[in-house]
Structure 1
């Protein structure tokens, strides 16, 4: 359930970044890192779910994969914090966006 909460939080942050558009200072970096980490975490969780924990030869591998997934989840949370801190705030009007980032 925690992974679903992280996924929903990440989706909300990505939506905010996409709404800001390429005028956001770290647009490409935030978009790439967020999407890449979310895909890697999802793949890790699928692999972890497929392996049998009861088999002794899989336990070491599952422990390593679990540690990697936990680390990537932490990094994703930190990136979401940076998205919020770096000014990717949701704006409802196009006028507010163009006023703060004139082109």
Structure 2
């Protein structure tokens, strides 16, 4: 049957005693799925920033925070491209190779830090606001009957 230590290590490895044989978690598969999910969120944020950029450009340079918003949105978009590239690189590497793990860990930490920076930038973008004008056609004064 084995010692208590062997049973605990078997359970930690994903092979609990008392149940049928179960394979351990495939770290590469997990990391790929995680990177894919992050990439999809990155694409959604990228599209939202592109829509905000369009709205700012439509308002024109007369908008009070025009240059500020153009700069912040452009920086956010650029950082999102960098994160996308990092996530692709991370997803394509073999996490089971012990020699690559420290570098992949650094890359993952950099991607996480950049996501945090993008969140902060987008908070400022929201604070400065993008107001769309002319959404509803102007109606004259209502007639009183």
TM-score band, normalised by the shorter chain?
0.7 to 0.9
Contact 2:55 2:130 in 1 (8 A): no
Give the TM-score of the pair, scaled to structure 2. 0.57
Partner of 1:4: 40
Contact 1:41 1:73 in 2 (8 A): yes
Which one has the largest radius of gyration? 2
Instruction: Please identify which structure carries the higher helix content.
Output: 1
RMSD of aligned residue pairs (Cα, Å): 2.1
Matches within 5 A, 1:6-45: 6-21=42-57, 22-23=60-61, 24-45=66-87
Partner of 1:100: none
List 4+ stretches of structure 1 deviating above 4 A.
Answer: none
Unaligned runs of 5+ in 2: 1-36, 137-145
Give the TM-score of the pair, scaled to structure 1. 0.77
**Alpha-carbon distance in 1 for matches of 2:120, 2:46:** 11
| Higher normalized contact order (CA 8 Å, seq sep 6+, divided by chain length) | 1
Q: How many Å apart are 1:82 and its aligned residue?
A: 1.0
**What is the count of residue pairs matched by the alignment?**
94
Unaligned runs of 5+ in 1: 96-103
